[in-house]
Amino acid sequence: MNAPTRLPAGLHDLPEISVIVPMHNEAKGMDALFQRLLPVLEAIDPRFEVICVDDGSRDLTMDGLRGHHQREPRIRAVSLSRNFGKEVAIAAGLRYTRGRAVVIIDADLQHPPEIIPEFVSLWRQGYRNVYGVRRDRNTDGVGRKLFTRAFYKLFDAVSPTGLPAGAGDFRLLDRKAVDALLAMPERTRFTKGLYAWIGFKSVAVPFDVDERIDGGQSRFNFRALLRLAIDGITAFSNAPLRIWGYVGLAISALAFLYASIIIVRALMFGIDVPGFTSLIVSVMFFAGVQLMTLGVLGEYIGRIFVEVKRRPLYLVQEEIGVEAIEPVDATGMDRRA
């Protein structure tokens, strides 16, 4: 690969390992992060780069990164024009990596960098998708734990893509896997599902989730989690659409049965007029079912709409020591077109 000459010195040597760190208001924690991360990487191979993606932070994240880049040019950064969410920040980061392997890690040190050598050694043994699996979600509240478990159960039931439970974004991906991810044009980035969908020789590495370094709160509230769950299900399953066909069939069968009973009864005992309550109940029930079905349809149509608009996934505001690679997808099409 011919790097353009205007890149800063050092950028011409392709790194062995690229690390992506999505950052949203992480100015406070980043010193501690680099202090732990850099020695680990240095010990593996000095040819590394850390690409921090500032996901529309409103604190001094970008200023901090600029300072770090000056002292350590292997720390590089790109900032997005606003907050696009962690999944998109990672997608943006992937486009800037040039390493033969890419590690994705949270900025808040909940993902211990000390596991990375294990990731790398498995990668060197031929695994292309080495993913961390949380031993216990003891840093999560009970509500979140239950919600997560329910989500995995549901996802498993409705989607042909199996999600390994407890696996998140903390992982190492081989270049091949990264290129596969980059070739996926969809706007709704349910990365957990995408990682599973691409396949490749995969292996799990258990790790313990640490407390957030700055003692701060998770940026994912319940609404964000719910949205993520709906994104995940709709992106990887058509079951919510299909199910209404079956529901309709079952209801029609019941209605037919009930109709036969009424007709026979009317023929045998004559017509009587009670049944107002059951009438209202069934009208309301079916109105509810129909509205729900419409809602599900709307959910998918909305997603189709988002996809066909073909807006860029994110916009970049500033680049420090990096330049986006323009991936060419499997069809050989330049994706800028």
**157 to each of 34, 160, 336, how far by Cα in Å?**
40, 8, 37
Confirm if 175 and 98 have CB atoms less than 8 A apart.
no
**Binding to ligand UDP (CB under 6 A): which residues in 51-70?**
55
DSSP state of 108: T
Mapped onto helix, strand or coil, the DSSP state of residue 7 is coil
**Binding to ligand UDP (CB under 6 A): which residues in 68-97?**
83, 85-86, 89
**Binding to ligand UDP (CB under 6 A): which residues in 9-28?**
22-24, 26
Q: In sequence order, what DSSP letters do the residues of 119-184 get, joined into one string? A: HHHHHHTT-SEEEEEES--TTS-HHHHHHHHHHHHHHHHH-SSPPPTTEEEEEEEEHHHHHHHHT-
Among ligand UDP, Mg ion, none, the one that 87 touches (CB under a kind-dependent 5 to 8 A) is none
Among the residue ranges 70-78, 103-111, 197-205, 275-283, the one whose residues contact ligand UDP (CB under 6 A)? 103-111
DSSP state of 274: -
Size of the site for ligand UDP (CB under 6 A): 16
The contact set with Mg ion (CB under 5 A) reads 108, 110
| Nearest approach, Cβ of residue 107 and Mg ion (Å) | 8
DSSP state of 329: -
Rg (CA), the chain: 25
Complex with ligand UDP: residue 270 or 312, whichever CB lies closer: 312
DSSP state of 23: E
Q: What is the distance between the terminal CA atoms of the chain, rounded to a whole angstrom?
A: 21
| Nearest approach, Cβ of residue 85 and ligand UDP (Å) | 5
Complex with Mg ion: residue 110 or 191, whichever CB lies closer: 110
Out of 34, 92, 106, 163, the only residue in the binding site for ligand UDP (CB under 6 A) is 106
Among the residue ranges 35-43, 101-109, 119-127, 287-295, the one whose residues contact ligand UDP (CB under 6 A)? 101-109
| Interaction of residue 174 with ligand UDP, rule CB under 6 A | no
Measured CA to CA, the distance from residue 312 to residue 304 in angstroms comes to 15
Out of 107, 178, 182, 235, the only residue in the binding site for ligand UDP (CB under 6 A) is 107
Q: Residue with the closest Cβ to ligand UDP?
A: 218
Which helix (H) or strand (E) covers residue 187, if one does?
none
| Interaction of residue 222 with ligand UDP, rule CB under 6 A | no
Complex with Mg ion: residue 24 or 74, whichever CB lies closer: 24
Residue for token digits 């992982």?
171
Measured CA to CA, the distance from residue 129 to residue 219 in angstroms comes to 26
Among Mg ion, ligand UDP, none, the one that 134 touches (CB under a kind-dependent 5 to 8 A) is none
Out of 110, 188, 202, 234, the only residue in the binding site for ligand UDP (CB under 6 A) is 110
